[in-house]
Amino acid sequence: MFEPCDCGSGATYITCCGRLHAGAPAPDAEALMRSRYSAFRRADVAYLLKSWAAETRPASLSLDPAQEWTGLKIHRHRLTGPDTAIVKFTARWRSGQRTGGLTETSRFRRDGAGWVYVDGSAG
C-alpha cells in the first residue's frame, strides 16, 4: 500500500517528502518547505535541524507532542534571487479541542545541491 505524503502534494510519501527525509537534496524551496511540514507531522527533529541554515539554526528543538499538524496550504513560492526564495504557507494544527493555523513567509537559501530554511515571519 502506498502512503500519501503528509504535505498534501498528492504524491506518495516515499516519492515526495520521504526521499528528502532520507537524504536527497530538495530541488527547490517549496519542496523543502513541504518536507519540513511533513517532518513536523512526523516529529522528525533531526531532519528539521539538518534542513535549517547553520547561522539561524537553534541548538535544539522540542516539539509539543499534543500538537497535531492537520494540513498545509502553499500560498506562494517565489525566487528572490539566483540562490534565494520565499514560500508563504499556512499550516493547520489541532491540540486537544483547540484548532488553529500558522501563516508564515519563510526565507530559503540554496546550499550546495539543495536548499535550507533560513527564517520566517508571521503573515
Q: pLDDT truncated to tens, each residue of the chain (123 aa)?
A: 689 999 999 999 999 999 999 999 999 999 999 999 999 999 999 999 999 999 999 999 999 999 999 999 999 999 999 999 999 999 999 999 999 999 999 999 999 999 999 999 997
- 114 inside domain: yes
- 66 inside domain: yes
- 71 inside domain: yes
- With cell 517528502, the residue in question is 17
* Residue 45, helix vs strand vs coil: helix
- 94 inside domain: yes
- 46 inside domain: yes
Domain housing 118: 17-122
Give the pLDDT of residue 123: 75
Specify the amino acid at residue 117. Y
Which CATH number characterizes residue 40's domain?
A: 3.10.450.50
Nearest to 51 by CA among 21, 19, 75, 9: 21
Tell me the CB-side half-sphere exposure of residue 99, using CA atoms within 13 A.
Answer: 4
Please tell me the distance from the alpha carbon of residue 66 to that of residue 93, in angstroms, as a whole number: 10
- 7 inside domain: no
- 6 inside domain: no
Q: How many domains would you assign to the chain?
A: 1
